[in-house]
Structure 1
Amino acid sequence: MNMSVCASSSATSRAVKPAFWYGIPHGYAKLDMNPPRERMERLALELNALPTEQRLRASQVLQFYAGTVRALSAQNVHMCAVGYHPDDDGIVVSSTLTISTVSASGKNPKLVIASLAGTVAFDSDLRMRPLELPCGLGFLVEEKKHTVAPGRNPDNPEGPLRDDVWQGTIAATGSGTPDIILIQLVTPAVHLADVYREILLGVAHTVTFTDPAERASEQDESRVSSAEAVMRNDFG
């Protein structure tokens, strides 16, 4: 699974050093959670230049995007990405990946996670198992939900259409943060739950509190030092 490394910070300023880093799987497109004002103003100007019918449709999309970003930000979501992948029959299926943080309210986040794991274990509708991740302690919860199908009109006289979705959530923590990191993946492709579980676990295993750029620099320095030692041995 190909990954692109991304960073996340609880601060709104882009200049603040991220609290942790993670990988995004191949085939997922990130939603910009903090679009620059200039970009939104440029989009508004382009939207106003469209013909009336296209302008109305584009305006609805833009309003939906803005509302989605506000709702996600209110839930302290740092990253949201939408994935499109072909299944075994060549049909494209979608999924949504989010990474958020939850405050441990001054408590030890490891103890909070242990407590949550104990609570979830009593729910027979959930599948839960503990995890030992590179970043620290965690647990995985899986469930199948019957929910309103996205993109459908909930005000339909016959009632909103509903569909099954698979939802996987990993709660993790480590010494690098006082918060609990939540990684969640949701897809209507319930028959591919095993595949999406592996994607979710793959993302969780990339979470780190060490800047990958700094780690790469240290590795480069180590290789240079090793090369210098070999040269000293060869040439005295």
Structure 2
Amino acid sequence: MADTRKPTFWYGLPVGYVSLDLHPPVERLMGIVNRLRGLPEKERDEADRALRLYAGIVSLLNTNRVQECALGVHPDDSRGFTTSVFTVSTMPTGGSSSKLIVAGLAGGAADGRNEGLRPLDLPCGVGFLSEKRSPAPRSSRPTEASEATPSHIWQGTVAVAAPSTPELIVLQMVTPDLDSTDAYRDILLGIARTLTFTDPNDAAAEDAGQEPEPLTGGAAAMRNDFG
């Protein structure tokens, strides 16, 4: 069933990222299942495992209030490729003012009380950036490919207060390419600077003094929080 909730924030997604469909229509899933039934047994079993993995990931992301999950693949200096995962989620604050929470964390980062946090002055308001390196998750079924899995990943997180609801908007970038963390930090901050709580269609119509028209250029790249 399609998600019909009204978007409350928008942001730009850079070239090189492909969004994962977090709300696949039932008809599409049934079509995939029907095609799987026509495959030879070996291929059918492998495709079935892949479909179950996808369904499990989507369920987990939805459980954790993830509104966007995008996979990024970019060329690196060694003529290979570097990868990353970008997510956007909402985090309830239990009825507390999200603006006060962000202001307190950002203030603590500014005076050194909250180590590892960096205050941000974004066009949409005050936020903060945190970074950390964590052990990379390991597969429960070791294979030759898993032996080459990086031992650590870099995780960058930007949090901003939603203006009309008691929740935080959390943007997160994760990559196993520790040599490219500066570049991925810049990408994350670049996305954070496009975050807006004003519908780009409404803004374009107000500026033009007429009904909304199809957007082009940077405005067309703006994406809402539900795809």
**Shorter-chain-normalised TM-score: which range?**
0.7 to 0.9
Query: Matches of residues 1-236 of structure 1 in structure 2 within 5 Å?
Result: 14-117=3-106, 118=108, 127-149=116-138, 153-156=139-142, 163-221=151-209
Q: Please, what is the CA RMSD of the aligned residues?
A: 2.5
- TM-score, normalised to structure 1, is 0.79
Asked whether the equivalents of residues 109 and 117 of structure 2 are also in contact (C-alpha less than 8 Å), the reply is no
Is the alpha carbon distance of 1:16 and 1:192 closer, same or farther for their aligned partners in structure 2, counting shifts above 3 Å?
same
Question: What is the CA–CA distance in structure 2 between the aligned matches of 1:113 and 1:171, rounded to whole Å?
Answer: 8
Asked whether the equivalents of residues 137 and 174 of structure 1 are also in contact (C-alpha less than 8 Å), the reply is no
Q: CA deviation at 1:155?
A: 4.2
Q: CA deviation at 1:192?
A: 0.4
Point out 4+ residue stretches in structure 1 off by more than 6 angstroms: none
Question: What is the CA–CA distance in structure 2 between the aligned matches of 1:147 and 1:123, rounded to whole Å?
Answer: 25
The alignment covers a number of residue pairs equal to 206
Work out which of the two has the higher radius of gyration on C-alpha atoms and give 1 or 2. 1
Question: What is the CA–CA distance in structure 2 between the aligned matches of 1:59 and 1:106, rounded to whole Å?
Answer: 42
Question: What is the CA–CA distance in structure 2 between the aligned matches of 1:57 and 1:20, rounded to whole Å?
Answer: 38
Asked whether the equivalents of residues 90 and 169 of structure 2 are also in contact (C-alpha less than 8 Å), the reply is yes
Gaps of 5+ in 1: 1-11, 223-236
Percent identity, please: 41
Cα deviation, 1:104-151, whole Å, max 9, x if unaligned, reads: 111110221234453895576xx32100111111000011122225xx
Greater Cα offset, 195-204 or 103-112? 103-112
Q: Which structure carries more relative contact order (alpha carbon 8 Å, separation 6+)?
A: 2
Gaps of 5+ in 2: 211-227
Code of the residue aligned with 1:175 in structure 2: it is: P
Q: CA deviation at 1:16?
A: 3.1
Question: What is the CA–CA distance in structure 2 between the aligned matches of 1:212 and 1:52, rounded to whole Å?
Answer: 49
Is the alpha carbon distance of 1:199 and 1:119 closer, same or farther for their aligned partners in structure 2, counting shifts above 3 Å?
closer
Asked whether the equivalents of residues 109 and 118 of structure 2 are also in contact (C-alpha less than 8 Å), the reply is no
Asked whether the equivalents of residues 98 and 185 of structure 1 are also in contact (C-alpha less than 8 Å), the reply is yes
SS at match of 2:4: coil
Code of the residue aligned with 1:45 in structure 2: it is: N
Asked whether the equivalents of residues 109 and 119 of structure 2 are also in contact (C-alpha less than 8 Å), the reply is no
Is the alpha carbon distance of 1:165 and 1:136 closer, same or farther for their aligned partners in structure 2, counting shifts above 3 Å?
same
Code of the residue aligned with 2:44 in structure 1: it is: R
Question: What is the CA–CA distance in structure 1 between the aligned matches of 2:38 and 2:136, rounded to whole Å?
Answer: 38
- TM-score, normalised to structure 2, is 0.82
